[in-house]
């Protein structure tokens, strides 16, 4: 199954979508949340450093948002579906026949106009991080990934590079240089496994979203870890935020305000720092 930050072909660059001026009216959903005293926050399972076994950036952010609203956080981990539209349906606006009712808010959602238009049952807003593609590499063998892919990635006609299978990085590397890299692309079930192969010298580099590489290699100084600044990459950056049910206007406004306060007082940056990931704004 695909994971959220991998579905990059859906994404364009947007930083302004629905981050302010949200309409506020009577909201039965918000009333129910206050009566319950808990904010139900949906996060992806097995997705370090964002959410993994009840820990991670999104878990901490969900708790901070709930606390700012005077609520307890109920963190709900879930397995990614076949596409993010399925995840929004199951966790935001409809629910799942096995899991039951949806959560109040889902984190790690692409803030993108086309994606929002295709999923109008959800309200997408509140960008809190900008993702970029990255590479972890053995610096003595692999040059910095910048400029033209035809030049920067030619080394992988000889050296092996690891990726998580069925991802944007996988698709991109398989398509550049007229497919000449394919025999040296090693596929793994997760970025964690790919990074372990790098540590074991089974591959000379790993390509993946930069924050996930930074989290997986936090405290490790043997490898260069940096943004892949390749001209052929598209998109190069994409904003990540949250989603609630489309008619939950009051909840969206409250969460947007809470996020702004947490960004302003440094709480969001501190959460990212604790997990070895710089906060990238837009």
CA dihedral 84, 87, 89, 91 (to 10 degrees): -150
Higher pLDDT, 158 or 79: 158
**Closest C-alpha among 4, 7, 25 to residue 91:** 4
pLDDT of residue 18: 39
**Spatial distance between the Cα atoms of 78 and 281, rounded to a whole number of angstroms:** 27
Helix axes 57-68, 267-274, angle to 10 degrees: 160
Distance between CA atoms of residues 220 and 3, nearest Å: 25
Q: What is the per-residue pLDDT across 18-47, written as a single tens digit (0 to 9) for each?
A: 334 444 444 678 889 999 999 999 999 999
Express each pLDDT in 99-152 by its tens digit. Answer: 678 999 999 999 999 999 999 999 999 999 999 999 999 999 999 999 999 999
Q: Are 166 and 2 in contact (CB under 8 A)?
A: yes
Torsion sign (Cα): 219, 207, 42, 268 = positive
pLDDT of residue 100: 74
The rounded distance, in Å, linking the Cα atoms of 230 and 249 is 40
CATH 3.40.190.10 assigned to domain 4-130+238-274? The reply is: yes
Adjacent-strand bridge partners of 55: 52
Residue 2 scores a pLDDT above 70: no
DSSP letters of 171-221?
A: HHHHHGGGGTTGGGEEEESSHHHHHHHHHTTS-SEEEEEHHHHHHHTTT--
Domain assignments of the chain as residue spans, ordered by start = 4-130+238-274, 132-230
What is the C-alpha to C-alpha distance for residues 103 and 165, in angstroms, rounded to an integer?
Answer: 29
What gap in Å lies between CA 119 and CA 104, rounded to an integer?
16
Average pLDDT across the chain, whole number: 89
Region 132-230: CATH code:
3.40.190.10
pLDDT digit string, tens, across residues 227-245:
999 999 998 889 999 999 9
- The mean pLDDT value for 186-199 works out to 97
Average pLDDT over residues 264-273: 97
CA dist 248 and 229 (Å) reads: 39
Rounded-to-integer distance, Cα 184 and Cα 129, Å? 32
Q: Is there a common fold for 4-130+238-274 and 132-230?
A: yes
**Calpha distance 146→76 (Å, rounded):** 39
């Amino acid at each position: 199954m695909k994971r959220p930050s991998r579905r990059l072909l859906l994404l364009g660059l947007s930083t302004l979508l629905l981050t302010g001026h949200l309409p506020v009216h009577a909201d039965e959903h918000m009333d129910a949340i206050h009566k319950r005293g808990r904010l139900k926050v949906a996060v992806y399972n097995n997705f370090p450093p964002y959410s993994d076994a009840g820990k991670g950036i999104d878990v901490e952010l969900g708790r901070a948002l709930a606390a700012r609203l005077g609520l307890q956080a109920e963190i709900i981990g879930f397995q990614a579906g076949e596409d993010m539209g399925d995840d929004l349906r199951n966790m935001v606006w409809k629910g799942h026949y096995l899991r039951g009712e949806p959560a109040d808010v889902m984190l790690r959602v692409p803030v993108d106009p086309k994606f929002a238009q295709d999923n109008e049952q959800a309200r997408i807003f509140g960008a809190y991080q900008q993702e970029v593609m990255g590479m972890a590499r053995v610096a003595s063998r692999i040059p910095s990934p910048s400029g033209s892919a035809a030049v920067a990635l030619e080394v992988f006609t000889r050296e092996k590079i690891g990726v998580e299978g069925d991802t944007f990085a996988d698709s991109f590397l398989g398509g550049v240089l007229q497919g000449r890299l394919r025999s040296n692309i090693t596929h793994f079930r997760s970025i964690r496994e790919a990074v372990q192969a790098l540590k074991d010298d089974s591959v000379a580099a790993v390509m993946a979203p930069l924050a996930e590489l930074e989290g997986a290699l936090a405290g490790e100084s043997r490898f260069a870890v940096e943004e892949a600044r390749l001209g052929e990459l598209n998109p190069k950056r994409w904003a990540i935020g949250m989603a609630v049910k489309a008619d939950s206007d009051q909840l969206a406004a409250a969460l947007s305000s809470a996020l702004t306060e947490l960004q302003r007082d440094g709480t969001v940056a501190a959460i990212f720092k604790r997990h070895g990931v710089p906060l990238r704004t837009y």
